[in-house]
Amino acid sequence: MFKVGNTYKNGYGADTLILITDGTSPKYPVIGMDVKTGNPRTYTQDGVFYVGDTDTRNNLIPPLVPHVGKVYEIGDGRIVKVFCIDEDPDHPVNVFSKDREIICLAPDVFVKEVTDQDIDLGFELKDGETYWHPAGGVEVTMSLVFPGDLFCFVGSDDDTYPAYSLGRFVRGFELDEKVWVRDGSDDQWVKRHFARREEGRLYAWCGGSTSHTEDGVTYWSEMTNKEPTC
């Protein structure tokens, strides 16, 4: 439960650095040092300071155990959602941050569970379906989507499986589909209809027209088929 070299708080907020977890005392094998005073302190494996002590605030607060699907605050203040826990000995907890970044974390960096917030991709990725990856300028087909539809590997011609952060994907566009476009983050979104994708560039029919009435197209640096909120 407690890891040598890590610091844990007790009920008073005092920090204890864990020095040993397999001490010779059968009742108090965990030995720590009060970070502020330097005084040694001994605990049971569950972090109990003294079995006969009625002041439970002297006990160590056990590390938080993260669970898939839950949202947490981590040590640097970021809010993340756990989507996978693997067998990596050092960083087994895979999370998805609010800025849609995949991060692999050690389990002891989780501070507290956050119940009043959630992180939603806004769409679901499925095996075998094709999606557009704007940053890479490529269209890719999902070959393996991790539990929770938050991370995937994409197959390629040379049988490698590069990993992608799913927040960088948008669903494939269909001809004449309603889209919102702009040329930069400072520009206003405008309504158009999707025309085609060519050499990594996205084009919409000019003036809001469709293929039924227009031949001319315009390149846009940003395009989405989900109505922007700002």
User: What's the pLDDT tens digit per position in 99-123?
Assistant: 656 677 887 788 788 888 877 644 4
Q: Predicted confidence band at 225 (pLDDT cuts at 50, 70, 90)? A: confident
Q: Quick check: is 125 in a domain?
A: no
Closest CA to 102 of 116, 86, 113: 86
Q: Quick check: is 229 in a domain?
A: no
Residue 154: predicted pLDDT: 47
pLDDT at 59 over 80: yes
Closest CA to 226 of 178, 156, 175: 178
Residue 193: predicted pLDDT: 94
Number of folded domains that form the chain:
4
pLDDT at 19 over 70: yes
Q: Quick check: is 80 in a domain?
A: yes
- The DSSP symbol for 10 reads B
Same domain, 146 and 183: no
Q: Quick check: is 38 in a domain?
A: yes
Residue 25: predicted pLDDT: 86
Distance linking the first and last C-alpha atoms of the chain: 45
The pLDDT mean for the chain works out to 75
Residue 70: predicted pLDDT: 87
List the 163-165 sheet strands across, edge first: 163-165, 151-154, 138-145, 130-133, 170-171
Same domain, 107 and 141: no
Contact 64, 82 (CB under 8 A): no
Residue 34: predicted pLDDT: 92
Same domain, 94 and 109: yes
Q: Domain range holding 87?
A: 71-113
CA distance linking residue 121 with residue 168, whole number of Å: 10
Stretch 150-157: mean pLDDT: 44
**Least confident range of 10-24, 124-138, 176-190:** 124-138
pLDDT at 150 over 50: no
**Least confident range of 9-13, 135-139, 222-226:** 135-139
